[in-house]
Structure 1
Amino acid sequence: MTVSVTGQVVWRLLRLLLKLVLVPLLLIGRLLGPAARRLVDKLDEKYRVKEDWYIAPYFLAAVPKYAWNAYHQRFQYWYLFEKQVRKHGNSLCITYPRPLGRKGQFEVERFTYQETYEVVLRLSHILYFEYGIREGECVAMDVTNKPMFIFLWFALWNIGAIPSFLNYNSIGTPLVHSIKIANVKTVLIDPQAAKPIQQTQAEIERELPDCKLRYLAENELLARILDTNSPKFLQDVALRSPSTLSDFSPACLIYTSGTTGLPKSAIMSWRKAVIGCSLFGHVLRIKNNSIVFTAMPLYHSTAALLGVCAVFSQGGCVAMSNKFSASTFWEQVYLTESTHIQYVGEICRYLLHSPLSEYESKHKVKVAYGNGLRADIWQEFRSRFNIEVIGEFYASTEAPFATTTFQRGSFGIGACRSYGTFINFILSYQQTLVKMDPEDDSTVYRNDKGLCEVAPVGEPGEMLMRIFMPRKPEATFQGYLGNKKATESKVLRDVFRKGDAWYRSGDLLKADSHGLWYFVDRMGDTFRWKSENVSANEVEDQIMSFDNQAFSAVAVVGLKIPNHEGRAGFAVLELSHKSKYMEGNVDFLNDMLKYLTGKLPKYALPVFLKFVDVIDHTDNHKISKKNYRNQNLPHGRAGNEIFYWLKGGKSYVALTNADWNDIQSGVARL
């Protein structure tokens, strides 16, 4: 039996390798005439061999090279950066449209790789000899988006210290916890981000008396590190890269709050920063002449790893905005001559709902990459802003791997993983979607043997990523610093056989017949009502599609209703400035209800709704749904909110005290 199964696997692999080897010949065949070109196109449509041919050779070459560097204790990103300085010293490394006094006015600053390297060495001298920062220490950075963020970050890497990227909006107990959990010795504070630290300083000094708060005199510091006569410091290799350091040791710490509790400090390993980001940059076609614009905060992994690290790994340039502004976004993109932009789905909506800008037709952007771009606005976004390619990906801060797509045309709209037959086959041993319990889609299904099963095509399943050494999971999934319980909660064991281990994403995805994967929901975003599972993401999509100009944002969650099983759908609506509707327009809500009735099953229709001026978002521009999962019905905490409810399942009306009493007592049926 074992020989037979092994033989089948080997044969399948050989067939796939044969297809991969045939690709160059097929490409040559395109030159031989119409018949050959039709054959090439037909094979590529079925197997997507061109994309696999682009990705696979790079990966097959990069992994042994990385293993060689790891063997010689040169796996830290610093050495990759030094290589790019030697190779692309005169190429652009950082571009920054520094905001001036009046909104919409910028002064563009530019630094080459060689200039950046020398600035980093001068700053290293200050940090080492004046601030006393040493190798192995954890140093927190409380810094906004600007070149100084990258200068400090790479200076710490040169010294051999571990940067910890604080959320500069964090204040009070969460801020103290973030510093404490990482055993931070020094906090470097940008004047623009200083207020929350200042307001928490007494608490920090009381609980962490040995932690030094270093308020940076930014202008003075910039003058010193830009002065070519200032001294430089290059750390001794033996101190930066001791033999005790492993490639899954922390390269930096990035905080993720999840949905509840205090911030968790996710470990970004050197392996992820180097090989993971290099592969990501290659897939997204970032080249030496690419300029990638990001308005995402650099303290998040999207901008830090999939922005800076991915771009520098290819010798490209990072263009950063001090903060996101829909009104000046395209102006900054134009001024920096960017070829790529980063997004999250909410940013795409903001841009679509923004007034026409003269700069949106002048830019040079060909690729937009990020996550959360919904299928209903995918093509509209690309069409309005003249974007050729959407690079939707799936990733999370702590996840050991990511998925990518490089989508052109009309095939694969909405997918977050799109590869050809060969790469899909390889990834099937490392990534999977597992079937969920039919009665509770927050729990994975286990069969009579106590094992999981792969989710059928078209059926949502939790995405899992294999931990290759179950007895030493930290080699694949480093988890959260100082939080063993949270780390272990992300590891699922005995999945397909006894003793195996997989990282749990906590997200539901589904596959189609072409092998493409699509994001469905956070597991917490799927709620149960009327004994059925409701996808918050699907309901949001349908509400938004009722009228593309009616809403700026929509958030759907499940509300716990007294004396009722499950959670009732609750939609929070933020009207667009382009909307022709007014808050409280019940006729509008009921017109929307008629539309939704034809698009959603009855159990998925929102039972409650309310309008808000602005929907709450996280610092990374994602909707903060946790703020809406608990509501004080019938009139909110302040007693002056207006809620609407689906009375009798037929129409939306304003919720009254009498209605609420009837709902709680069961007189009125939801």
Structure 2
Amino acid sequence: MSTLELAAAALLGTQLLDAKYSIKHDVLLVQKVVRSAIPYLINCARGRASFWYYFEKSAQRNGSNRAISFPRPLKNPPPIETDSNGVKNYDNQFEVENYTYKELYDIVLRLSYILKNEYGVTPDQTIALDCMNKPIFIFLWLALWNIGALPAFLNFNTKDKPLIHCLKISNVTQVFIDPDCSGPIRDTEPEIRTELPNVKLHYMNEVELLRVIQDRATPKYRAPDHTRRPEDTDSSCCALIYTSGTTGLPKAGIMSWRKAFMAANFFGYIMKIENKSNVLTAMPLYHSTAAMLGVCPSLLTGACISISQKFSATSFWTQAKLCGSTHIQYVGEVCRYLLHAKPHPDQQAHNVRIAYGNGLRKDIWLDFKKRFHIEAIGEFYASTESPIATTSLQYGDYGVGACRKYGGFINFILSFSQVLVKMDPEDENEIWRDPATGYAIRAKNNQPGELLMKILNTKNIEGTFQGYYGNKKATSSKVVRDVFRKGDAWFRTGDLLKEDGDGLLYFVDRLGDTFRWKSENVSASEVENELMGSQAIKGSVVVGVRVPNHEGRAGFAVIEPKDEYLNGTRTDELLGKVYQHAQKSLPKYAVPQFIKIIEQIESSHNHKVPKNQYKNQKLPRGDNGKDVIYWLNRDRYEELTEDSWDSIIKGASKL
């Protein structure tokens, strides 16, 4: 073999090794971490942990770059245009608003002046934002960071007791409300006035406010550094994002400055968000996916964050085209909606190269890439409160469905801090412990196990896991001790994942009482508690059940009616009362899609209801074909027949 042939063979061998073990990728990522983390830690020591400084530097460096693009839906749009071939053009349904980094920075300083001088916002306050996806959300958010106040991102669907709870646990002093989503908070206003009389509600005049903060005559305010919480460390709270939990009420997940920085710097790097990138998100900004993994990476690098006010399969690709997006964010449900939608004239007229998010199912992964000409899928695993995040940027056929895809070197390093543990086969919520040692064991390859993250300093849990604002009990419940040795401590994700022989990680399912439906986390306990308010039942069990061709799990409620409804002659009245109360007191996505009526809900010896027996409920009529189950058909529950079940599966009837 000649020298040239030997060199070619050696090069091919190196390429094959790199393809399998991602050596080059690992080296570059480690270099990125080192180059970024050291200056960040130095800045934290100097009292500059706030992400504000990174935004400000980026705004000054990228003044003429687009920072925000917003295809605002027209309130009275003209008819959709159709050409001679019958192809529809949706461009005229939107008016695109663009803001450069210089314009954004100036707007934020003017808004800061207004917040400080007209509303009395100070660094010690928690200010809630109740807004749809609009530039005003980001303007308010950054202005609060400038002043040093703590923003709390409310889910604008929340109402009644859960809403009051959100305001109370976070010590919110003022709420800025978008008029386009103010319904739930207006409905709850009397209760807020009674229970939280010191909380100020501000219904914004968006048009007037936008005019004022773009007027050059409006004064600017850039807060002095010494007033911007210089005592903050990397683990201090930068924002509150609410998450469902098993307590029955939302919890305020603490977003730390470190998490914002790491999301912007490392996650953005892995997803190739660069200076000329344009990231379109239709995910709600009150969730960490859009806020931390969409907005923060864009603002750090000088990229443009494009905001879709509301996801629509009909206009999504039109918005991507109008904004010039290179990246889009998704959750699995969004991908399925787009894939099942009719062919769209703009589905290949866009510049999108990378789609990233979580929950894209393996069975539609490649179809999604092919149909919409997407080069790479960036699937990740993370949760609002979790200190763990894993990533996978997949270009070819290898790694389809994985949420973690690194090389051997990084996998080796992570193996000391991130582990999958075997679960108790009799109770999927409990970690299995070896009777001989009392310690947990690692799950085997391709065996589902709960993902845990090691807490390095057991005397300072908050240094690794900041937990939930004002809820020490819920925070401590996420920490398990004495896992592999006496005295150790680990963060419990509450999620089942599995790892294959190549070190790739795949999401399996959620543990406990929280399930995901319509891109939202649903607390089973919250739904159970609210159903009791119908005054028609003695008790209920709520779980999430799988429905073919639908993402996540649909709400399934097993209800035990009061005695007067047991004879079956008043079933319609019973179901009507349950629905009327549920739709009034719960967000739309949390209203049970299926209901089963039983005479008595059995509990175990320790007074716990064994929910697993309901999670595997076979639809439409149970294993024996005799169960009577009801489904929510628009605004009423009716019997789930074979025909209606077939219609649901085919998508003709919507859940």
Band of TM-score, shorter chain: 0.7 to 0.9
1:534-561 CA deviation, whole Å, 9 max, x = no partner?
xx99x95xx74xxxxxx45574788879
Structure 1 pair 32–334 and aligned structure 2 pair: CA distance change class (3 A): farther
For the residue of structure 1 that corresponds to 2:276, the secondary structure is coil
CA contact (8 A) 2:556 2:592 kept: no
CA contact (8 A) 1:120 1:152 kept: yes
1:482-533 CA deviation, whole Å, 9 max, x = no partner?
1111111111111111111111000000000000000011123899xxxxxx
Deviates more, 1:409-418 or 1:190-199: 190-199
- Counterpart of 2:66 in structure 1 is 92
For the residue of structure 1 that corresponds to 2:290, the secondary structure is helix
- Counterpart of 1:370 in structure 2 is 357
Shift of 1:629: 8.1
1:77-100 CA deviation, whole Å, 9 max, x = no partner?
000101111221211111100110
Following superposition of structure 1 onto structure 2, how do residues 255-334 of structure 1 map, counting pairs within 5 Å?
Answer: 255-259=242-246, 261-334=248-321
Shift of 1:73: 1.1
CA distance in 1, matches of 2:144, 2:61: 22
Following superposition of structure 1 onto structure 2, how do residues 356-367 of structure 1 map, counting pairs within 5 Å?
Answer: 356-367=343-354
Structure 1 pair 559–114 and aligned structure 2 pair: CA distance change class (3 A): closer
- Counterpart of 1:204 in structure 2 is 192
- Counterpart of 2:211 in structure 1 is 223
Q: How many residues align?
A: 547
For the residue of structure 1 that corresponds to 2:347, the secondary structure is helix
For the residue of structure 2 that corresponds to 1:457, the secondary structure is coil
Q: Which amino acid aligns with 1:96?
A: F
- Counterpart of 1:192 in structure 2 is 180
CA distance in 2, matches of 1:330, 1:46: 34
Q: Which amino acid aligns with 2:158?
A: S
CA distance in 1, matches of 2:395, 2:350: 19
Structure 1 pair 255–347 and aligned structure 2 pair: CA distance change class (3 A): same
Deviates more, 1:337-346 or 1:170-179: 170-179
CA contact (8 A) 1:296 1:620 kept: no
- Counterpart of 1:59 in structure 2 is 33
Q: Which amino acid aligns with 2:33?
A: F
CA distance in 2, matches of 1:373, 1:118: 38
- Counterpart of 2:137 in structure 1 is 149
CA contact (8 A) 2:123 2:229 kept: no
For the residue of structure 2 that corresponds to 1:318, the secondary structure is strand
Question: Are 2:61 and 1:74 equivalent residues in the alignment?
Answer: no
- Counterpart of 2:597 in structure 1 is 632
For the residue of structure 2 that corresponds to 1:97, the secondary structure is strand
Shift of 1:439: 2.6
1:314-361 CA deviation, whole Å, 9 max, x = no partner?
221100101111111111011001000000001111111111111001
Please report the RMSD computed on the Cα atoms of aligned residues, expressed in angstroms.
Answer: 3.0
Q: RCO greater where, 1 or 2, for CA within 8 Å and sep 6 or more?
A: 2
1:354 to 341, 358, 372: 341
1:158 to 127, 146, 156: 146
CA contact (8 A) 2:448 2:508 kept: yes
Q: Which amino acid aligns with 1:415?
A: A
CA contact (8 A) 2:288 2:384 kept: yes
1:416-449 CA deviation, whole Å, 9 max, x = no partner?
0010011111111221111112332221111222
CA contact (8 A) 2:263 2:293 kept: no
- Counterpart of 1:430 in structure 2 is 417
CA distance in 1, matches of 2:116, 2:206: 17
Q: Which amino acid aligns with 1:66?
A: Y
Q: Which amino acid aligns with 2:57?
A: K
For the residue of structure 1 that corresponds to 2:420, the secondary structure is strand
- Counterpart of 2:566 in structure 1 is none
Q: Which amino acid aligns with 2:398?
A: F
Shift of 1:379: 0.5
TM-score scaled to structure 2, two decimals? Answer: 0.79
Structure 1 pair 30–176 and aligned structure 2 pair: CA distance change class (3 A): farther
CA distance in 1, matches of 2:123, 2:622: 61
CA contact (8 A) 1:292 1:317 kept: yes
Q: Which amino acid aligns with 1:239?
A: T
- Counterpart of 2:115 in structure 1 is 127
- Counterpart of 2:621 in structure 1 is 645
Shift of 1:457: 0.8
For the residue of structure 2 that corresponds to 1:450, the secondary structure is coil
CA distance in 1, matches of 2:439, 2:587: 37
Structure 1 pair 318–502 and aligned structure 2 pair: CA distance change class (3 A): same
Shift of 1:64: 0.8
- Counterpart of 1:467 in structure 2 is 455
Structure 1 pair 143–362 and aligned structure 2 pair: CA distance change class (3 A): same
Structure 1 pair 400–630 and aligned structure 2 pair: CA distance change class (3 A): farther
CA distance in 1, matches of 2:10, 2:133: 51
For the residue of structure 1 that corresponds to 2:123, the secondary structure is coil
2:170 to 168, 182, 186: 182
For the residue of structure 1 that corresponds to 2:496, the secondary structure is strand
For the residue of structure 2 that corresponds to 1:358, the secondary structure is coil
CA distance in 2, matches of 1:437, 1:87: 54
CA distance in 2, matches of 1:228, 1:261: 47
- Counterpart of 1:566 in structure 2 is none
CA contact (8 A) 1:459 1:511 kept: yes
CA distance in 2, matches of 1:267, 1:31: 57
For the residue of structure 2 that corresponds to 1:93, the secondary structure is strand
Structure 1 pair 197–112 and aligned structure 2 pair: CA distance change class (3 A): same
- Counterpart of 2:469 in structure 1 is 481
Structure 1 residue runs without a partner (length 5+): 1-28, 528-535, 545-550, 563-615, 635-641, 661-670
CA distance in 2, matches of 1:30, 1:392: 40
Q: Which amino acid aligns with 2:329?
A: Q
Percent identical across equivalent pairs? Answer: 50
Following superposition of structure 1 onto structure 2, how do residues 497-508 of structure 1 map, counting pairs within 5 Å?
Answer: 497-508=485-496
For the residue of structure 1 that corresponds to 2:295, the secondary structure is helix
Q: Which amino acid aligns with 1:422?
A: F
Q: Which amino acid aligns with 2:23?
A: V
CA distance in 2, matches of 1:166, 1:498: 40
Q: Which amino acid aligns with 1:327?
A: T
CA contact (8 A) 1:293 1:318 kept: yes
1:350-378 CA deviation, whole Å, 9 max, x = no partner?
11111111100100001000000010000
Deviates more, 1:268-277 or 1:501-510: 268-277
CA contact (8 A) 1:137 1:162 kept: yes
Shift of 1:139: 0.5
CA contact (8 A) 2:157 2:587 kept: no
Shift of 1:230: 1.3
Structure 1 pair 336–33 and aligned structure 2 pair: CA distance change class (3 A): farther
Q: Which amino acid aligns with 1:86?
A: Q
CA distance in 2, matches of 1:647, 1:403: 38
- Counterpart of 1:446 in structure 2 is 433
Shift of 1:383: 0.8
Structure 1 pair 260–30 and aligned structure 2 pair: CA distance change class (3 A): farther
1:45 to 19, 41, 44: 19
CA contact (8 A) 2:559 2:596 kept: no
Question: Are 2:83 and 1:109 equivalent residues in the alignment?
Answer: no
Structure 1 pair 204–561 and aligned structure 2 pair: CA distance change class (3 A): closer
1:177-236 CA deviation, whole Å, 9 max, x = no partner?
111111111111111122222211111111111111111111111101111221100101
